[in-house]
Structure 1
């Protein structure tokens, strides 16, 4: 199908279309189709292991290790829900064509709160050049986002940061480092971590 990937950069004309699409996606339910719960997928112990061992933590992450571990432990419950979420918000999974946008590549669907895909796109938007405030302000255009508790969004940010840091260490690539950096900026802003 002809089209292009979504442009997530600041000022992109795709951003309102993406908000409208995620409004629709937030209403999807699985019916009788068995789909894994995101909480099961996100039951990792990345931050808890690091907090216990002190391994791979330095600077602000070492200072906030306990809070990072606490939020990670709460993430499965905080993202629980019955909405079908895509969970892979890479711009390449959005096909923009004929004035509309479609979400493709449904390889990792999960049952979760209806705002999770919006949170995951906030992370991608930060990586694309938005500030955390700008990206979260964009998310306000998606009604499901309004139901997300502050702690739940922070927990997703912490989990996403842990995932991308682990992936970047295991298989270094510039885009993984960029996504880890975006995750770090998001977590620091949400937790009020001072400094550059």
Structure 2
């Protein structure tokens, strides 16, 4: 697959000048000077501001800010990210949070400005190898979790039941393999919570747009979904997006035949397939297309893992 034929992980960003004026003033007060340059950053789905700022005296910061419109769920996610980012230890490969606050219904996070770029798409093998090594290192550093977060089953339990839900919904347009095996998929999916359990702090939303490659290290950004899980969860959940975005297919990168992994892949594939059939959420016009494209790769991986015909 080429990157040109796959949907980008990008939403509709809010430019800095459209952020609430009191929020902009508060950020300038914290930074100690007026903003001279504001460069919107692409990547990510939320209808929010994501801006690299430079003040008149040269201070830099990366600012994320979201208001209650058009998607109130984004405010909830930014609150969660603010809590997680404030608690992450220095050992976590994440940009440092400088400050965060809520004002006029907006949630604002101010981070250090990292000099880095997202991985090139289609994926380059040298960059992918850097990221895979960094994920392994992150899992080791964050086991056991240094902060208090919910277990993965509690955070995603209601969402990762796609096959069960499809049993009660219209199955027109589903892959014929899915229709043949829907009962078995639902049964396999039912074991994912126990399979994914662990004491590692996992990011739980790794994709190319949540990764920054700096000269000397790899940073993982956007942590609102952080939770406790097995140390391999982040890798397994990221691989369908790697295959979809021009990299190797998941089975080429992960060969452990553990049935626990297969149960998690089943749940993740069910989530992607079912959610890809839903209408676009308010203010997130690209997320369903991205989920559908990931779902194709995840489902192919699941077919190989199960061996069902």
| TM tier, smaller | 0.7 to 0.9
Taking the aligned partners of 2:228 and 2:138, their CA distance within structure 1 comes to 12
1:85-96 matched pairs, under 5 angstroms? 85-96=202-213
Question: What residue number does 1:101 align with?
Answer: 218
Unaligned runs of 5+ in 2: 1-113, 281-285
**Deviation (angstroms), 1:62:** 1.5
Relative to total residues, which structure has the larger helix share, 1 or 2?
1
Higher strand share: 2
Select the residue among 174, 183, 196 that pairs with 2:298: 183
Q: CA deviation at 1:11?
A: 4.5
- Cα deviation for residue 49 of structure 1 reads 3.1
Q: Distance in 2 between matches of 1:49 and 1:170?
A: 12
After TM superposition, give the deviation of residue 80 of structure 1 in Å.
0.4
Q: Between the two structures, name the one with larger relative contact order (CA 8 Å, sep ≥ 6).
A: 1
Deviation at 1:58, TM superposition (A): 5.2
Distance 1:8 1:17, change over 3 A: farther
Q: Distance in 2 between matches of 1:59 and 1:166?
A: 14
Which residue, out of 8, 12, 15, partners 2:128? 15
Q: Is the contact between residue 126 and residue 135 of structure 1 (CA under 8 Å) also seen in structure 2? A: no
**How big is the shift at 1:87?**
0.5
1:159 maps to 2:267: yes
Question: Any residues of structure 2 matched to 1:42-191 within 5 Å, and which?
Answer: 42-44=156-158, 45-51=161-167, 53=168, 55-56=170-171, 57=174, 59-129=176-246, 130-136=248-254, 150-171=258-279, 173=286, 174-191=289-306
The match for 2:283 is: none
Deviation track 1:49-79 (CA, whole Å, cap 9, x = no partner) reads: 333x363255111111122111211000000
Q: CA deviation at 1:8?
A: 6.5
Shift in Å at residue 171 of structure 1?
Answer: 3.2
Aligned residue for 1:105, secondary structure, equals coil
Higher Cα Rg, which structure:
2
Bigger shift: 10-19 or 68-77?
Answer: 10-19
> In 1, Cα distance between the equivalents of 2:272 and 2:152?
17
**In the alignment, which residue of structure 1 is the partner of 2:79?**
none
TM-aligned CA deviation for residue 166 of structure 1 = 2.6
- Paired residue for 1:143? none
How far did 1:86 drift?
0.2
TM-fit CA distance, 1:99: 4.4
Q: Map Cα deviations across residues 80-106 of structure 1 (whole Å, 9 max, x no partner).
A: 000000001111111011143111111
Indicate conservation of the 8 Å contact 1:42/1:75, yes or no: no
* 1:140 aligned partner: none
Q: CA RMSD in A?
A: 2.2
